[in-house]
Amino acid sequence: MTPQNRPALTERQQAILDYIADRIKREGCAPTHREIATQFGIKSPNGVNSNLKALKMKGYITTEPKISRGIHVVGQVPKLSLEFAGEVS
């Protein structure tokens, strides 16, 4: 599914997608399901799961099973961290 023909998102889905993308950009990893629930006042774990499932079905995210922070925004370049050892000449 290309970005041009993906289904539209509800306001809530768009807000959750924006939150996930921002967290990945700022912190280098996705929020947990619990953090998403807290951010949006979602009381049921099923509420978060249904929104993430919709985002996945519509082609906006991918998820890694059994990984706490395994949400990836389609098309978002991951933030890389490089550590340097020694001197550059």
The pTM of this model reads 0.81
83 pLDDT band, cuts 50/70/90, is low
User: What pLDDT, on the 0 to 100 scale, is given for residue 52?
Assistant: 97
- HSE-up of residue 43 (Cα within 13 Å, Cβ side): 0
Looking up tokens 């996930």 gives 20
User: What pLDDT, on the 0 to 100 scale, is given for residue 68?
Assistant: 87
CATH code, domain with 65: 1.10.10.10
Bridge partners, residue 39, by sequence: none
Q: Which domain holds residue 19?
A: 7-73
| Total domain count, the chain | 1
What would the pLDDT profile of 36-49 be if each residue is shown by its tens digit?
Answer: 999 999 999 899 99
* Residue 68 placed within a domain: yes
* Residue 12 placed within a domain: yes
The pLDDT of 68-72, averaged and rounded, is 93
Q: Is 4 helix (H, G, I), strand (E, B) or coil?
A: helix
C-alpha 36/C-alpha 42 separation (Å) is 8
